[in-house]
Amino acid sequence: MTDYLIVAEAVISVLSVICNAILVFVILATRRLRNNTNYLVANIAVADMLTGLVSLPLDIIAIVVPEWTEGNWIQCILTYSVIMFILWASLFSVLAITCERFWAIVYPFSYQKHVTRNVVLIVIGVMYVASFLLALPTPLSWVNGRSPDIMWCFGYQSSTPPEIGIPSFIGIMVICTITAGMNFKIMRVAQIQSAKIAAIDAVVTSGKKTKFSKEKRITLFLSFVALYFVISWITLLVQITLAYFQIETPMELWTFSITFAFSNAALNPIIYGMGQGQYRRAFLRLCCKKSSIAPEESGTAMSVPSNTLETTTKP
């Protein structure tokens, strides 16, 4: 099972770096894709790239070269502190895109007034600072002469005392639960708004209906990305928490959980590409440079059309 885990992590690492690098490049290189939602999408892609560039290689090294961490508590602690920093960054990135979509769909008028590019960029900066601070307790827990006797380093539970590790992972699971609940609410509101749009054909023009349909599709795809992140990590988080209570689980389940958890880093950009027509056209345009490719549609597909949503909220 160890060989399978190494191969799986290596494949996910390569795919996550390549696919997410392409996603970030396309968003930054295409003017019409540079909007609030896509900045947050690009931020998720950056966190996923860090997973492929740093987290997975460190985990592979810890498996292939046991001397890297076993018996060396400093390297063991630093390795899993970095991995935790990236996990927190990924979690906050998914939470941010969920909050942005929730605000845009449930409170569209307030969204247009308060959510600006500067606000989004500040939120992204705060997320990485918070991720760094939340990863600090692991190395700081061993200062002042206290050092662990780490002869076997396997996972976060090996490098972090229970009084820090257990609350951390319970907190992560609570955030995951909140994120899942918000996404179910988003999908429910999107369905209700679609029904209202369909019920007032005489009032809503074809163009407005098309824009709202596009907005709904993108929102649902982003909700799927968030829910997949939550589902993929929850099994591993539960196992790590159980390990603190000396409850053993099969190695096969560990292998599956680790692979499943990290798989979202490679699949997220693919899922987003399937749900964003503008992204696909921009990608083809940048790669092929062919004039035959359909021109970009006017407007930003990810921004919420206020006149469309206003129509849905009128009695």
The pLDDT tens digits for 5-23 are 899 999 999 999 999 999 9
Tell me the C-alpha distance between 76 and 82, whole Å.
Answer: 10
Contact 221, 275 (CB under 8 A): yes
Tell me the C-alpha distance between 229 and 223, whole Å.
Answer: 10
Identify which has the larger pLDDT, 201 or 238: 238
pLDDT in tens, 242-296: 888 888 888 889 899 999 999 999 998 888 877 677 788 888 888 876 444 444 4
Tell me the C-alpha distance between 235 and 232, whole Å.
Answer: 7
**Minimum mean pLDDT range among 217-221, 225-229, 296-300:** 296-300
For the cut 60, the answer to whether the pLDDT of residue 195 exceeds it is: yes
Residue 52: pLDDT band (50, 70, 90) is very high
pLDDT of residue 158: 61
End-to-end CA distance of the chain: 59
Q: Which fold has domain 2-310?
A: Rhopdopsin 7-helix transmembrane proteins (1.20.1070)
pLDDT of residue 156: 60
The single-letter code of the amino acid at 78 is L
For the cut 60, the answer to whether the pLDDT of residue 149 exceeds it is: no
Q: Can you tell me the mean pLDDT for 71-82? A: 76
Q: What are the residue boundaries of the structural domains of the chain, listed by start?
A: 2-310
Tell me the C-alpha distance between 57 and 213, whole Å.
Answer: 41
DSSP H helix total and E strand total for the chain? 13, 0
For the cut 70, the answer to whether the pLDDT of residue 183 exceeds it is: yes
For the cut 90, the answer to whether the pLDDT of residue 170 exceeds it is: no
